[in-house]
C-alpha cells in the first residue's frame, strides 16, 4: 500500500513544494488548505505533473475541521505515514527587524500561538493513532532557527537582532513539543523532528532570502522518509543538527 502523507498549508510556498517532492517519491499526498479555491489550483498543478495528490480542507484552528479530516483519513486509508506540520504565520504587527517583546499585544500573541503551536499540537494528537499504525511514521514540525534560544541569546549570531517575539516564542514552544512527543514515542515506529528550512523566498521569508523554495523543502522531505533519516527528537537543517 502507498505511503500516505498530510502536508498542512500546502497550497503555496514550502507546503506546495514539500507536497511536490513527496509526490515525486511515489507518496500519496493529502494537501491541506484553508482556501479551497487556492488549494484546488495547487492540486491541479501537481496532478498535471502526474503526482498522486488530493485536496483536503483544513482550518487547523477549527476542531470540526480537524475531526472531519481525522475521520476521512481513517475511513479511506486506515493509517497516516507522514504528517508535515507546515502551516504557520508571522503577524503583520511583527516586522522582522524589530524586537517586539516590549509592546506586542496579547491578541497578536494569541493568534500566532493558535496557528503555530496550539493547532499543531491539536492536529498531531488527533492524528497520532493513525500515525502509530504506520510501519515508519514520521512527524515533521516546521520550525525556524529564530525559535532557537541558543541563537537568540548569542550576540555573535547573525539572528541575534531578529526578534519578532510572538513568532519566535511560538517556534520555541513547537520545538519543545517535538522534544516531548519524541520522548513519549521512543521505542515505537514513529519519529518526531523539528525542521529549520532555512531563510527561503516565501511570503514569510520575502524575496530577500538567499534560498529557493525547492531547497527549503528538502529538510522536511528528508525527515519524512524513513529511508533517508533516523533522527528522532532533533532540530535539523539539511541533515545537520541545529542548537535548541
Mean pLDDT of the 171-183 span: 98
pLDDT of res. 212 = 80
Summarize pLDDT for 123-171 with one digit per residue, the tens.
999 999 999 999 999 999 999 999 999 999 999 998 899 999 999 999 9
Whether the Cβ atoms of residue 121 and residue 61 lie closer than 8 Å to each other = no
The predicted-structure confidence for 31-68, as pLDDT tens digits, reads as follows 999 989 999 999 999 999 999 999 999 999 999 999 99
The predicted structure's pLDDT at residue 115: 96
- With a cut of 90, say whether residue 205 has pLDDT above it: no
Q: pLDDT band at residue 199, thresholds of 50, 70 and 90?
A: low
Domain region containing 85: 4-241
Q: What confidence tens digit (pLDDT) does each residue in 77-124 have?
A: 999 999 999 999 999 999 878 999 999 999 999 999 999 999 999 999
* Farthest CA pair distance, the chain: 52
Question: Do residues 181 and 173 make contact, with C-beta atoms less than 8 angstroms apart?
Answer: no
Name which of 4-18, 172-186, 199-213, 230-244 the model is least confident about: 199-213
Order of strands, sheet of 190-195, starting from the edge strand that comes earlier in the sequence: 53-57, 28-33, 4-7, 82-85, 137-142, 190-195, 235-237, 240-241
What pLDDT, on a 0 to 100 scale, did the predictor assign at position 206? 54
Burial class (CB in 10 A: 0-12, 13-18, 19+), 146: buried
pTM of the predicted model, to two decimals? 0.94
Q: Which residue has the higher pLDDT, 213 or 184?
A: 184
Q: Calculate the alpha carbon distances from 88 to 9, 17, 44, 74 in Å.
A: 8, 15, 23, 25
pLDDT at residue 209 above 90?
Answer: no
- Residue 87 CA to residue 76 CA, distance in Å, equals 24
3-state secondary structure of 187: coil
Quick one: pLDDT at residue 16? 96
Residue 205 and residue 199 in contact, taking contact as beta carbons nearer than 8 Å: yes
Q: Give pLDDT, residue 229.
A: 81
pLDDT at 204: 58
How many folded domains does the chain comprise?
A: 1
What percent of the chain is helix, strand and coil (3-state, nearest 5)?
40, 15, 45
Dist. CA 156–CA 146, nearest whole Å: 14
pLDDT the model gives residue 208: 57
* CATH number reported for the structural domain that contains residue 92 in this entry: 3.40.50.720
Amino acid at each position: 500500500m502507498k505511503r500516505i502523507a498530510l502536508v498542512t498549508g500546502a497550497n503555496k510556498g514550502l507546503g506546495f513544494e514539500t507536497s511536490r517532492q513527496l509526490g515525486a517519491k511515489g507518496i500519496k499526498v493529502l494537501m491541506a488548505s484553508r482556501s479551497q479555491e487556492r488549494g484546488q489550483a495547487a492540486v491541479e498543478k501537481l496532478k498535471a505533473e502526474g503526482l498522486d495528490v488530493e485536496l483536503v480542507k483544513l482550518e487547523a484552528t477549527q476542531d470540526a475541521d480537524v475531526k472531519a479530516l481525522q475521520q476521512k483519513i481513517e475511513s479511506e486509508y486506515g493509517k497516516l505515514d507522514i504528517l508535515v506540520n507546515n502551516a504557520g504565520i508571522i503577524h503583520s504587527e511583527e516586522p522582522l527587524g524589530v524586537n517586539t517583546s516590549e509592546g506586542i499585544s496579547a491578541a497578536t500573541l494569541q493568534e500566532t500561538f493558535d496557528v503555530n503551536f496550539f493547532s499543531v499540537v491539536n492536529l498531531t494528537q488527533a492524528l497520532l493513532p493513525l500515525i502509530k499504525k504506520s510501519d515508519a511514521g514520521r512527524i515533521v514540525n516546521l520550525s525556524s532557527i529564530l525559535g532557537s534560544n541558543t541563537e537568540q541569546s548569542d550576540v555573535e549570531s547573525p539572528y541575534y537582532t531578529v526578534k519578532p517575539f510572538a513568532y519566535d516564542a511560538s517556534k520555541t514552544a513547537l520545538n519543545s513539543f517535538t522534544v516531548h512527543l519524541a520522548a513519549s514515542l521512543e521505542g515505537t515506529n514513529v519519529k518526531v523532528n523539528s525542521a529549520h528550512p532555512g531563510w527561503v523566498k516565501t511570503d514569510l521569508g520575502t524575496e530577500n532570502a538567499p534560498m529557493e523554495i525547492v531547497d527549503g523543502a528538502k529538510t522536511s522531505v528528508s525527515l519524512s522518509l524513513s529511508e533517508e533519516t533516523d533522527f528522532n527528537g532533533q532540530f535539523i537543517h539539511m541533515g545537520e543538527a541545529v542548537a535548541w
